[in-house]
Each structure stands twice: as structure tokens, then as C-alpha cells.
Amino acid sequence: MTAQITTSPIQQLLAGQRAFFSTGQTKTYEFRIGQLQKLKQAIIERQDEIVAAAKADLGRPAFEAYFEIAALGEIKLALKKLKTWMKPQRVATSVDVFPSSAWIQPEPLGVVLIIAPWNYPFSLLITPLVGAIAAGNCAILKPSEQAPHTSKVIAKLIKDTFAQDYIAVVEGATETSKSLLAEKFDHIFFTGGTAIGREVMKAAAQHLTPVTLELGGKSPCIVDADIHLEHAAKRIAWGKFINAGQTCVAPDYLLIDRAIKAEFLNHLKQAIQTFYGDNPATSPDYGRIINSHHFNRLTRFLDNGEVVLGGQADPSTRYIAPTLLDQVTWQDPIMQEEIFGPILPILEYETLDDAIAQVNAQPKPLALYFFSKDEQKQQQVLSSTSSGGACINDTVLQYGLATLPFGGVGNSGMGNYHGKAGFDTFSHHKSVLKHALWLDLGWRYAPYAVKGLQQIKRIITGR
């Protein structure tokens, strides 16, 4: 009697996608373009639902909630450039393979898994999906259970737009994620915290599955004395306090020239007051913390240093005021982990070399910000530090450029996406050599005569 083999719903879903991928339908230019257009239209038609879900999950104002559909820009770029991205790239050959031609041919990986975080729960799932579709893959999507309203919108949008053998959503909590990670995928794309990133990589290693990890870290914001104080303060306050600080590339701490610290703090306070009024709790433009766990984690930091602005917190609404902390040291708990909330610690430095040394003593961050009019100093900071990305005289905006690859380095992640980088992440770049048959030079064949040895020396050493 033969034992009956049972499979889980996830395994059945994966098998269905593998079967569909094997038909080759996803590989054609026409199919990929058609699916990108369907995704674009579905997002446009459901934009109000997406915005409402972001507000329900994070208390986001509509203006900030519209950042969730920024993936439309990624789709537009892919629609415009896909034919070029798919085209094989010819490369030079050498005399030892004459007569021949060679090229690099992008091809889809197969079935990929994309796991999204809760802070930008729609865009951080759909943006990598654009790259996966453009590259010709099938995909299983895992939205964050901590943003349930957005997860529900995503599940319905995908189900109404695509066959599940092509793209599907699997909702659930930690056990669901573990079940997904136990399966063999052709690529795993994860956005989230460093600790969970390690678990994702450990699970992927069991199947030798390649991973892209978009993590985080303590992104520094260095402020030189030679700046436009008002403009710099507004740009830093905006980047730090949008989405109540729950942005992976938000400035995590200020490192400011001691000579302008007091004056700059006044401008920073003014910017925050201008944005959110005297009582940000009543501002329609200020968000809330995602859940009680993160609220409690953040409020413990309010005892670090000296509160010079804000500090108010309300557990019933998960509200934490935009807060500036002065007199903070590197030994304080707030400087030991990524903050991911509306609390900005302020440190100071004497010289730029000192500031760079402080940054380099920490794990490599996802983003680095430097405010200065001095171009020599700008180059010094860029060449003397390592970070996933950098932005001069502004914050966060570098993330929104589809033409710039986005990703971390070291503890802040590995791999990147956006635009062509997303297409490349979800593609295998196959190297192809085509050797003609009409001529066959015999230099490489045995028996190896003295003349043959001299020829191979010349080919390899150039002498």
C-alpha cells in the first residue's frame, strides 16, 4: 500500500507557481508589459483604499499616505525601459576564442518570495514586486500582519488582478513566515529589522537561496557650521518626523558642529512647531506609533539625556510627540539600537574628522546625511564613510529616485533594488559564448609541443 503524500497550502501554491513558470509565459516582453500595466491600473483604481488603510494602520495623514503608491513611478520607469533592460548585452572576446561572440543574457530566476515590513506596508511590498514582474518571475507576497488594514487591501488587489499561479498573497503572522521560509524559493527579498534579517538568511541558507536584505541601522545626520540654518532644520525635521519617525532611512541621530548647536536647535524647534503646531497631538499631519510594543520600547528612550522639546506620550493613542534629546552619550540605550520613532538624539563634534571617526566607529548605516555648503567637506565625508546611500543637504529624498539603486551595506543589508537595480536583483545574468565552427585553431589540443607552450604563455602573459 502506497503512503499518501500530503502537502500544505503553501506547498501547493508554490507547486502551482513553478508549473506556471515552466510554461515560459512570464519570459516574454509582451507578458511582462501587460502585467505591469495591470498592476498600475489596479493601484490607480484603489488609491483611496490604500491611503485609507495607511491611515488606519499608522495614523498617517493623506499627504504622507500617498507615499505608499510611489511604486507607480517604478512601474512607469519599467514600462519605458523594459525592452532595453531585457536586451542581451554584447561583450568583447579575446584572440584565444576567435572566431566567436559573447553576450550577457538576463533571464528570470523563477518563483520569488517578497516579505514586507509594517512601516510602509504597501510600497515596500509593491516596489520590489515591480522588479520581480519586470524580470519575468512568479511571486509570493507576504505583507506585514502588523499593518492589517493594508494587508487586507493588498490581498484583495492582487487576487483581483493576477492568477494565483502567477502572483499570490499569503497573509499571517510569525508562523506563516516561518512556513514560507522553510520552502525553497529562487530568491527571497526581505525588508525589516536586522535580527529578523539574520533568521531569513539562516532559513535561506538551508536551500542555498539567494537573498536581498533591506535592513536599517542608525543613520547619522552630520551638520556642518557652513549651512543655511533654516532650510537645513526644516529638511531634517521633515525627514525625521514623517510617519512619526517610522522610516528606515530617517535621520537616527544628529551630529552637529558645536559652534552652531544652540542656534541650530532653535531653528529645529521652530520647524517642528511650524509643521505640527503647539500641540502635535492635535495635528492632522502627524502620525502614530504602529502598536503598543513599539510604543513601550520608544518611551523608555525618553529618560535618556535631556528633553529640550516634546517628550509627551499617550499610550491610549500610541502618541509620542516629536522629541529632541540633548546631552546624549554613545553609552545611552537610545544609541545602542535603531530608534525607528519620533525621538532625535543630538550629539556634537569639534572637527569634521572627529565626526567622521564617531560615525565610522558604528556599524555601517543604511543612509548618511551631511549638511554643508563646502564641497571639499562633502567629498571628504563621502569618501571617508561607508553607508548604503547618502544624501547631501537633504534627507530621505534619495529613496524616492527610481534611477538610484537602494540598499544597505554590512549590518544595514545586502543587495539593492529600484529601477534597473530591481530588474537586475530578480534576474540571473547568464553569460553566453558562441564559438564558430568554420575554423578550429589547434593550439589548445594535446599533445602539447614546445611551440604550443610558447603560444599559451603569450596568450596568458601577453609576452
Domain spans, the chain: 9-215+416-428, 220-407
Pairing of strands 111-115, 187-191: parallel
Short-list 24, 64, 415, CA closest to 212: 415
Are the beta carbons of 224 and 352 closer than 8 angstroms?
A: yes
Are the beta carbons of 324 and 265 closer than 8 angstroms?
A: yes
- Listed in order, strand segments (DSSP E) in 124-225 are 138-142, 167-169, 187-191, 211-214, 220-223
Reported as a single tens digit per residue, the pLDDT across 257-269 is 999 999 999 999 9
What fold, for 9-215+416-428? Aldehyde Dehydrogenase; Chain A, domain 1 (3.40.605)
Q: What DSSP designation does 33 have?
A: H
Reported as a single tens digit per residue, the pLDDT across 424-445 is 999 999 999 999 999 998 878 8
**pLDDT more than 90, % of the chain:** 92
Reported as a single tens digit per residue, the pLDDT across 86-113 is 999 999 998 888 999 999 999 999 999 9
Short-list 170, 146, 150, CA closest to 159: 170
Task: Tell me which residues are annotated as active site.
Answer: 214, 248
Reported as a single tens digit per residue, the pLDDT across 43-77 is 999 999 999 999 999 999 999 999 999 899 999 99
CATH placement of domain 220-407: 3.40.309.10
Please state the separation of Cα 293 from the chain's center in Å: 24
| Tally of CA atoms within 13 A in the half-sphere of 155 that contains its CB | 13
Residue 283 CB-density burial (10 A; 0-12 exposed, 13-18 middle, 19+ buried): middle
Whether residue 2 is predicted with pLDDT greater than 60 in this model: the reply is no
Are the beta carbons of 58 and 244 closer than 8 angstroms?
A: yes
- Quick one: residue 155, left, alpha or beta (phi over 0 = left, psi -120 to 50 = alpha)? alpha
